[in-house]
Each structure stands twice: as C-alpha cells, then as structure tokens.
Structure 1
Amino acid sequence: MTGRRSEAADRSGQANRNHPEGARTSLRQVLWGLVFVLALPTILVAAAGLYSSYRAEQQATDLRMQETARALSLSLDREIEKSAVALQVLAQSSSLARGDFEDFYHRAKNTGLAEPSWIALFEPGSRTVFNTRVPYGVILPNSNRPELLRRVQETRRPLVSDLYVGSLTGQRLVTIDAPVILDGRVAYILSLAITPDAFQDIIRDQRIDNGWNAAVLDRSRRIVARSRSPERYVGQLASPYVQDALAAAQEGRLRSVTLDGIPVRTYFSQSPAYGWTFVISIPEAELAKSAQRSLFWLTILGAVILGGILLAVLLSRSIAKPVDQLVAAAHALGRGEEVFDPATTRVLEFDTIKKALVEAATGIRKHERDREEVLAHMAESEARLRLALNAGNFGSWEYTPSTGALTASPTCRAHFGREPDEPFSYADLVASIHPDDRAMQAEAVAQALATRSDLHVEYRVIRRDGSECWIRVSGRMRSGSDEETSMVGVSQDITERRLAEERQALLLHELNHRVKNTLATVQSIASLTRRSAETSDPTAWNAFMDRLHGMAKTHDLLTATQWQGALLEDVLKNELEPYQDGMRQRIRLRGPKINLQPGAVLALGLAVHELAPMPSSTALSRFRTAGCT
C-alpha cells in the first residue's frame, strides 16, 4: 500500500512539473477583467448620452425662453398701440371740435381705458386744459414735458414717453401723447398717463415662476415693471450687462447678474414698434439642475457597476475557494492523508449570508419607507398649518422674554405695517400700538408671563401710512429643549369685524329708535281716536295704552340682547314689575333658565301683560295652564 501511495505522489509531482510556467492567470483575475471590459464602455457611452441629453435640453430651454421674450415684447407693442389708437379715436370727438371741454372731460373720464390711468388735454404751449385725475375746472400747472409736446406737434403723430415723475401726482408715469388736429393744425395734444401698475399686470398675467425674474424696460433702459420687488427697482436702470447687450443687438441671451445679485441666464427682446424691451431671467442654479440630474444618473450607473464588481469579487471567491479545497483534497489524497468531504464547501454558507443580507436590506428599506411616511405626514401637517394660517389671514410669532427676541412671519409683519424683509423687533411692535392701548397690552403680556396662562388681547395699531387698524393677538407659553421659556401665538387683523360690530350696534340703535317712533305714532292715533269717540269706555283706553307700554318694554328687552332672544325669567320680571310689593314677596319666580326666541318673547310678553291684572286665583290657574310656576 505504501508503494502505491508513493507512486501516486510521484505522478502528481510529475504533473506539476509538466504544468507550463506561463499559465499564471487566476480565475479571480479573469472575472475581474471581464467586469472591467464590460463596465468601462458602458460608463463612457452613458456619460456621452447623458451629456448629449443635457445639451439638447439646454438648447431647447434657450429657444423656448427666447421665443417667450419675443412674444411678450410684441405683446407690449400691442398694448401700447391699443391705447394709442383709443387715444386717436377720442381725439376726434365732436365735443372737442366745438370747444366743449367739460363734455369732452366727461367723455374722456368714461372711456374705460386700462387702469390705473388718466387723460389730460394740453395746448401746444404746454398749458393744461384739464386732467381727469382731478375734478373739472381745477386750475392746473403747465406740463413739465414741453419738449415732448413740441415733438408731437412737429411730427403730428402719437409718441410714447419713457418713465418719468409726473408734476401733478409725483408718481412714476408713462404717457402716450396724440395730436388733436383741427382745421389742418395741431390745436391740442391729448395725453394718456399710465402708471407702472398697468405693465405690472402684464407681467403678472404671464404667471412667471417664483424663482424667475421678468422686467419691462423703456427706451432709456429704465425698469418700468418687474416681477420681483417692483417697489424697490422700478425706476432704476437695468444692470450694465443688459444695457451692453441691448446696445449690441435687439434680442438675444447672455449670462448676467441681476440687481438682486443673483447669477442668471437672461433672455431679452426689443419691440420693433416702440423700442421697449421685455427681459426674462432664469437663475443659473435652476438651469444647473439638468446637469445635476445627468450627473446623478451617471453616479447611479457608476454605483451599479461598482456593485457588479463587488458581486464579481464575491462570485470569484465562491468559485475559487471550493476549487482550492478540491486541490487541497487532491493533494491530501495523493499524500495519503484524510480527505475533506467536498460537500463541506462555503457555497451554502454564502447563500445563507446572502439571504441574511437580503433580509437586512429589506429591513433597511422598510425602515426608510416608514421614515419617508413620517416625513410626508410632517410635511402634510406643516402644509395644512400654513394653509390654515393663510386662509384665516393669521400671522405667526414667537417672543422670548429673557432675550427680548421676536420672530414674526410675513403676515404678522404686514399686520403691523412692516415689509416681509424689514427688521421687526419687539420694541417696534410696542411702538406701533396706539398710545391709549399700550398699557393694556403690557398688562396682558405681564399677566400671561406671570401666571403662565394664555394671552388674548385686542388693541389698535397705527401703521406707517397713518392708517389705524385693530389687531387680535393670542399666545401660549412654551418651554424649549434648552429649558428657555418663550411665548408663541398668532395675530389677526380684526378691523373688519370691529367695524361690523359698530355698524350692527348702530343699526340696532336705529331700529329701536324707529320702533319707538312707530309706537309713539300708534299712541297718537289712539289718542285721536279716543277724542273722537267720547262715549267709549275709559277703561278700554287705559287697557289699550297699557298694552302699548308693555309692547315697548318687551322691545327694550330684545334691544338689550341685540334681538337674540331673552330669558323667560326676564320677560316675566319685565311685565310683573308694576305688581310687585316693596319687600318683593308678592311675586316670586323660580325654575330653570329658558331662552326664548324673539317672536316668542313678544307673544309671551303680551300674554303675561293680559293675565297680570286678573284676580290672583284666575291668573294662577292660567299661568299653570300655560306651563309656568
């Protein structure tokens, strides 16, 4: 037996010695090389495809935005031309030809041109005949645009001005001036003044995205309307980038920086008729999202390929290790040693580990889904809260007494007459409160802080423009994670509600006054009736007057509750008071509090009035029959 084993070992060694020395490529290397050969071309092709898609999307965006700018610039021309034609039609009015300026004033005022706008009539020498902005007959200063009026007289055709400040109103205006030709000469010049708000409406109708910016420029490159912060930038010159681009071409695109300091891609187009320009800008960050998407998918592809490499490594190990075990078993067999069972490889264990990894991955995915659901619920709750605050015109705020810091939402700032981006401290809030209400507000806040109770207070606020409004503030104490106490709450403009309450009280007072006047009229008629019928029973007259007095007292009771009804106890006291003794023991009322409707109050008051003067036994039986005790 020993001889046989030695012979087998010799044959194995001979086989090893006969193995060619150049065959040094392992199975792992072959698998890894295969993965790299497949992965590299895939990455290159995918990168080229994604870049091509990104460039095509960018070019499509450029074309679409340039066409939009061109269409809107033509829309500007159409709007201006429409107003100019309407002005020329108005200039042919017969009342103007016969010199009836007052009639022409009313015609011009009722033309229904775009709001906000008004019409003025000038003589060629700049004297103002009238202006529909003010009543007819008011003496007005001469026009501060004599040069433009002279050009209209010379050219005998309508002209559109650039943005300027009007002499009458002090507002920024754009005017369309048209000549009024009578007997072959320019007798007057009709001028239509348009505020930038009209052009602001044109931009608003386009529904420009919140992150974008659109602007209308006049011939001097001055901003007439702007989608973002118009109150800040209208009247300023456009950025130097846009001015240089307009000097070089009538339309195009460029990379620039807005007056806000935001890097953008700008598209512009100058109208062919009047030379006005429409500019629309998209932030570079938004355009970069397309490249980010391509980079994202390229990263995903790289991650997938990397996963394939890892799988190839694991696969090579799962193949190579059983092979090594078989070689070891063969060597052991050749040496006559104990042979390992070939079934005891790690292939099954690898499957078990893979199953465990799959289960772990499933658990992680489930955890991520649960987390996303929680985040979605939180986002939905926050959105509902914002919707509720916006629907009720509520502003939110938070005040930290220890530091004096105040955080307020844009709506809350607006309630106190502040802009959304304007600094607003607690001192500013107190300063805006009406002087007569500051002590009440300070006392309410101090009491809420001292007792840690809810804050509910209403006071008047004087805004910067001098207007006065009522604000209701509600708050609740809160302790943060750092144990710092603060107060959070909401504010609401209740001016309309206050005015409604005052109007309601005034109407009720007027109603009561009118009802009493009506009753007085009835009394007067009854008195006349009595004098005309001297043979009538005098007790009937007294009963009639008592009924009227009882009805008047019931009306007073309903007026005190603003005609919302009254308690049964109050109705009985009101009618039975004349029959009560000094000790208030003759008539005693007891029972549950029952609220009656206004109609029932009137009916029951008259019934009790009729029953009260009867003998006590009869009245008591009728009261019991009516369900009263």
Structure 2
Amino acid sequence: MTDGARTSLRQVLWGLVFVLVLPTLVIAAAGFYSNYRAEQQAIDLRMQETARALSLSLDREIDKSVLALRVLARSPSLARGEFDIFYDEAKGAGFAEPYWVSLFEPQGKTLFNTFLPYGTMLPSSNRPEVMRQVRETRKPLISDLYTGSLTGQRLITINVPVILGERVAYILTLAMGLDAFQEIIRDQRIAEGWNAAVLDRSRRIVARSRLPERFIGQPASDYVQNALAAAQEGSLQSVTLEGIPVRTYFSQSPTYGWSFVISRPDAEIALSIRRSLFWLTILIGVILGGILLAALLSRAIAKPVDRLVAAARALGRGERVSDDTTTRVLEFDTINRTLIEAATNIRKHEQEREEALAQMAESEARLRLALNAGHFGSWEYTPAAGSFVASATCRANFGRGPDEPFSYADLVSSIHPDDRVMQAEAIAKAIATRTDLHVEYRALWPDGSEHWVRVSGRTRIGPDGALSMVGVSQDVTERRQAEERQALLLHELNHRVKNTLATVQSVASLTRRSAEGSDPEAWNAFLNRLQGLAKTHDLLTESQWQGALLEDVLRNELDPYQDVMRQRIRLRGPRINLQPSAVLALGLAIHELATNAVKYGSLSVPDGKVHVMWAVTAGGTSQDLLVEWVESGGPLVKTPERQGFGSKLIQRGLAQQLGGEIKLDFAPTGIRCVMTFPSTTVALDQSDADDARERYAS
C-alpha cells in the first residue's frame, strides 16, 4: 500500500466542526424566520377566525331579536285588533334595553310606539322605503344606523311583517340601542392598543372598542370600505381613523350584510421581529463559543487516538495488547477492552443465537395455534416458480384433506367459474402494485357443495430476490348466509312499511278533505283511525305478519262496544285466515263502520245491536268472501245527502287494495253493508273448508 497524501484526524475534526456549524447557522436563521412567519400566519388565521366568529355573533344577536318579534307578531290580541293589550305585551317583551316597539299599518301609519304612552297621536313613518320593502318581500328587514325622530338617539330597527291570512296586515318594528353591539365587543376583551368595530351595511360604525362616543355613526376608513366591497372577508394593511398604521381583519355576515372589523397595530409586529433577532444573536454567540471549545477538545482527542492506533497495529501484528493500556478517554478505552473481550463474546453470542432460535420456534407454535383457533388457514404462493404451499386448515377451506395434493392449479379449478376472473385480477393487482390482497369468492368442494372463502395476503421479497405472496384463508359461508338473510328481512320490512305508509297517506288525504269541509271532528277521527290501524298492526305482529283470523280482526275493532252478556254484537262465520293486506284493509273498513254506528247508528243507543256474518261463496271457477254488517234497534236511518269520509275509505280501501265490491243500504231500520272480495286474499284452514262453502250471508 503506497503512502499518499492523507487527511489527519485533526483536519477531520476541524472539518466536522465547520460542517456542523455552518448548516446550523443557516438552519437556525431559517428556523427563526420560519418561526416568525408561522407566528404571523397563526395570528392572521386566529384574527381572521375571530372576525368571522364575531360576524356570525352579529347574525345570532339579530336573529334572536327577529325570532322574538316573530313570536310577538303571533299574539292573539294583535290578530283580534286589541292594540291596547298588544301594547302592554310589546312593552314587556323583555328585549335588551334600551328598546322601543312600534306597530305600523303596511302603508306606514303609526298605530303605537312603546316609547310614548298608548293613545298618543303619532306621525306616520318617515321611512316609506323600508315599509315598502317589508311589504313586498314579506321578510324581516334590518335597517342601517340612523337617528330616531322621537328619541334623538342613534338606533337600528328590525322590521317584521305581520301576516294574517295571506296579506301583510301590519309591520312590527323593534328599535334597538347600540349597547347590545357594544357589549359584543366588550365580551371579546380586545387587547389594549387594538381596535374592533361593528359596521352596518352602509359601512358606518355601529359599535367600537376605542373612543366609541367619538366615532360611532362615522363611515369606516376608505381602506376598509374598498376591501368590504371587494370580498366577504380578508385582511389588509390600513390606517385607523386615529391615523395609526394597523393590520386589519374583516368579515361580512352572510345573512344581514353587517361586518366585524378588528385591527392590530403594526408596532406589535415590529416587536415580534426584534424578539426573533435577539434570540438569533444569542444562538450565534453560543455557536461561536462551541467552535472555541471544539478546538480545545480536538487536541485532547488526537493524542489518545494516536495511542489507540498503536495498540490496534500491535493487535494486527498478533502482538499481545496489554490490559492496562489506557488512553484516558472512556470511549477509546471501551474499544480497547472490546478487542480483548471479542473472543469471549463470540461464544456468548453463539449461545444467545441458539436461545433465539428456540424462541422463534415457540413463537411459530403460538402463531399456528392462533390460526387454528380462528379457523384461519395459511398459504404461500411464488408466481415465478408456480409453487403453492397450504396448511391443513387452508386445504380444508377448499374441501381437501390435510394430506391430499393441492397445487395452485387445484385451487383455481376449485373456484366457482363466475369468480375466477375476479380472483385472478385481484392477485395480479396485488402483485403489480405491491398492495395487500383482500378477496372473497365461492369455492366448489369435491362433494359439489358451495362455500364462501375470504383470502387475505401480502407480497414479500425473499432473500434470493424472488417475489412471493403469503396470507391466510377463512371459510365465511355462515357470515355470507347471515348477510343474505338480513338483506331479505330488510327488503320484506321495507315492503311492509311502504304498504303501511300508503294506507296512512290515504287516510290522511281523505281526513284532510273532511277538515277542509269544516268538519270539527276531523283531527280526532284521524287519530282514532291511526289508533285502529295500530291495533291491527299489533294483531299482525303477534302472528309475525303471517296473517290473522277474520274473527280476531272483527273482535279487535268491536270488543270495546260489546256488552257484558256479549249479546249486543254477534259474530258468525267459518274460521278464515286473512292475508296481511286484507287484514289492514278490512280492519280500517270495520273501524269506520263501528265509529259510524257509535255516533249515529245502532251502537249509539243501549238497545241497538250489530250482527256481522261472513261466508265463502261456492260455484263458478272462483270463490269470493262475503262479509255482511247489519245494524238494528238504532235510530231511524236517513240516506245521507253526500258521501262521507267513512264510505269513501271503505269503498276505496277494499276496491283498490283487494279488488272488492261494497254495497251500502241505508234502510230506515238500520244500515246494512255487504262487502265482497276475491278469495285469493284469504286462506282457509283445511278442516273448515267444506263447512265454509255451505255458509252464505243472509
């Protein structure tokens, strides 16, 4: 080996010092600058968010007053024209002091103002444009800042239309002092030297943190007005009305167009810069002191290194290195001792290696136990070699025995033909993109049964550079079947809920028409119909929506009107099990008949009776179910002049839903109703089928 020009340790140490110091200085300067910029950006963001939050607070403050006025506008005394009573209600409404409530006619005539006693003669409104806008838009209107003609104070007004029927009958106005907006600013505890202000739509100052008595009512500075005209929110460099350079942040409320402005003096920004420069100077001084200290340490390091080099050369020549050789430097002495202890440590490391192998074997056994406990099968696939290794559980997931040959081709052939393309694409994508594999597909077992298998895997590169994929498989057939059952149940539930909602919609539509006809009992009737529908649902729920007996449907509706001897209401007919759709339709029909009988028919008097008989007709190619309702002993029946709600509901419900036919006979002795609908909506018990065919309605 030739001796050329080489670098000494001292040169390396000095070079190391400069390599560390120079980047440190650059990074420190950049860090301080970045910290300064981040601090300014954080302040900008915080200030902008504060302005935005406070502009929204303005909206909420105004919204509270608008809502209170709308509630006040719904006063019954106002609707009745009792202005003296409404005057007292408005005066005691509890708005934030100071406030006055005025009531105007739509054209501007003043009815009263709570600032003056009730009955005081007042001039018409001097704001016809405001009255016109409220009258035409029919929406609340917030005024800009102005001086009240009665009070001489600076005010804003909230004007709300009072709509009676379809017209604007009155305009209710709330005149507010500026204390509420001044309070919003005071609650923020604006720092001394900063400034915050609330501006109306015309950019005039409504409230201000600094010298409000001097600047309220004045226009904002040109800087702020131009910025608000250009954007909803933002920041800019400007000068306050006092002539102070500031950084200004503004936000305009989206609802009412008022703005909140907050300003931070430029003097505080300069103070932040000086603080960063001070700490940067301190850091530079510390680094220069470190360079001086490094020079002293380099001399202390070079000498022990020379002694260590001598010891290493002696070890390289096979000479004995004395145990008591010391460099008086802890780290170098450690190296010296390490060379001496190397041989001893080799044997120790071999022993540790054997222990590590034993621990790896134990860990592998635990992993195998965990896979078996979770019914996971492990596998490994090497695409280049085409090799495929599968555990016994993995083979079992595909219906193979633990010792049965199972190659990758066998795996592919066991996949359902419709899922093979999907499995191949998933494998190819996972290998190409080096992403995890997650795929589920159907596997056909040798016995012909179909099972669902979930396969997960991950690619890896072996020591030889070959790409392979390892993963697990799991039989998820039971989970898939459970998901299919759940989907079926949800579909069935959706179908039944839609049918029920359609029934409720029909009842509501017909009830609404009755209400439009000035029927005072329409709402109670609607509630009673819903209750009857709920009772019918309970009946179906008890049978898990498998239908219900016709007799149970009748008793469900008529038992509340039955007497103790059970003679007032008589039911007679064969055992017939109705389908769910027929249960709902017939339940509503019987409910309407019973309600009519209680109000006007035989059940409205103690001696009145109701007989319900049913039978299945025989003959022809089809069978029909006949249900006959007969009332007797009640008041004299008159044929109604118009068709009532109950008749419409019965005829439409049975005719439209079940294809039925209704015959109503308003005989003087009592109502008789015969309902007929196809037997396809019923299911007869076999034991009563013959008896049912022989019974007919009278």
**Structure with more relative contact order (C-alpha pairs < 8 Å, separation 6 or more):** 1
Bigger proportion of residues as strand: 2
Q: Does the alignment reach a TM-score above 0.5?
A: no
Bigger proportion of residues as helix: 1
Q: Output the TM-score relative to the length of structure 1.
A: 0.43
